[in-house]
Amino acid sequence: MNDHNDLPDLPSEPDHDPVPDHMPPMPAMPAGVQAQPIPGQRCGLVAIVGKPNVGKSTLMNALVGQKISITSRKAQTTRHRITGIRTVADAEGPGGTQFVFVDTPGFQTRHANALNRSLNKTVLGAVADVDLILFVVEAGRFTSADAKVLGLLDRNIPVLLIANKLDTVLRRADLAPWLQQMQREHGGEAQDRFAEFVPMSAKNAKDIERLFAICAKYLPEQNWWYDAEELTDRSEKFLAGETVREKLFRLTGDELPYTSTVVVDKFEEEPPQKKGHKRLVKIAATIVVERDGHKAMVIGDKGERIKRIGMETRQELEKLMDAKVFIELWVKVRSGWADDEARVKSFGYE
């Protein structure tokens, strides 16, 4: 780990183009998709939407079958559109369904700073052209914040109500009256807001399989966009930054405001030096905070906390990338960056 007392300034203009790596456009049909229809194949976009901290990223990771979106107890940890891919092939023949999932930031209805305006723009952009929306709430709860987010969605796109975190409901019988109320208020002919109601837990494999079956019928019959083995369209560099940010929030708890972010300054690969060795990935990243007190909090006593952030990030990335990873972390104060439109964009947000 580096000496954090003499840190280089972050460039006012990054030496890389942040937009392609941090915020690609909504996925469209990739070049090279076969024009000849393949019988029995379905493929489409599914947006995962909801207010902060209802388990959207946990659900995304469970649906994809691998961790590609960061999770934390802290609200608003997802900052970008994360596209996950899961292909459920038929047992026989070339048919089956390819789900292209878009995990969005939690829609902010309280704080109107530049960062939250950017995040809300991301949510609305993510759901504009999808085939299906999974609207995630905590089982047994539907708040005014949930209603505000629901009111922003296109009524022409089918929406499933995902009553998540069913595992936290102590008495399942208590959930029945709530579901009946939701069906009366949002599912009848007068409202017709939710196409279906799905109580579930993202941690339950059977619930995940059931959700696949429910979602499949809403996706159009068309050829798959990606190879069956692909899990995400995001780069390793992007996933490296997300992993640093997850460890940052997990290890600082509620002490650190969510307006902290991570900028990946360097991502370099070197081929294996010998046969049987793994490639080397060198990463340099800057943790951006808004106050000197936050900087001290991230570094920790004698640098112990930032060392642990780096160690846990390295261990996870080595598994994810199947590579030897070397990572350097810096901490820099940028006061008020979350309220500065230009700096929000320079850090890779729309």
**Residue 50 annotated as binding?**
yes
Domains of the chain: 35-216 (3.40.50.300), 236-346 (3.30.300.20)
CB atoms under 10 Å from CB of 14, counted, come to: 14
Indicate the pTM of the whole model. 0.62
Give the burial class of 172: count Cβ atoms within 10 A of its Cβ; 0-12 exposed, 13-18 middle, 19 or more buried. exposed
**Residue 40 annotated as binding?**
no
Question: What's the confidence (pLDDT) of residue 259?
Answer: 65
**Residue 324 annotated as binding?**
no
Question: What's the confidence (pLDDT) of residue 50?
Answer: 83
Question: What's the confidence (pLDDT) of residue 309?
Answer: 95
Question: What's the confidence (pLDDT) of residue 75?
Answer: 43
pLDDT < 50 positions in the chain: 1-26, 31-32, 72-80, 108-111, 113, 115-116, 190, 344, 346-350
Question: What's the confidence (pLDDT) of residue 208?
Answer: 95
**Residue 310 annotated as binding?**
no
Tell me what percent of the chain is helix, strand and coil, each rounded to the nearest 5. 35, 20, 45
**Residue 107 annotated as binding?**
yes
**Gap between the Cα atoms of 217 and 240, Å rounded:** 35
Give the SS3 label for residue 124.
helix
State pLDDT tens for residues 89-133: 887 777 899 999 887 655 544 445 454 455 555 556 667 778 999
**Residue 83 annotated as binding?**
no
**Residue 104 annotated as binding?**
yes
56 phi and psi angles, rounded to 5 deg: -65, -45
Question: What's the confidence (pLDDT) of residue 148?
Answer: 80
**Residue 113 annotated as binding?**
no
**Residue 132 annotated as binding?**
no
Instruction: Please state whether beta strands 82-89 and 96-103 pair in parallel, antiparallel, or not at all (unpaired).
Output: antiparallel
**Residue 95 annotated as binding?**
no
**Residue 53 annotated as binding?**
yes
**Residue 140 annotated as binding?**
no
**Gap between the Cα atoms of 339 and 335, Å rounded:** 9
Question: What's the confidence (pLDDT) of residue 60?
Answer: 87
**Residue 96 annotated as binding?**
no
**Residue 103 annotated as binding?**
yes
**Residue 105 annotated as binding?**
yes
**Gap between the Cα atoms of 315 and 308, Å rounded:** 10
DSSP result, 220-239: -B---SS-TT--BSS-HHHH
**Gap between the Cα atoms of 281 and 168, Å rounded:** 40
**Gap between the Cα atoms of 217 and 235, Å rounded:** 30
Distances (CA, A) of 48 to 84, 239, 292: 11, 19, 36
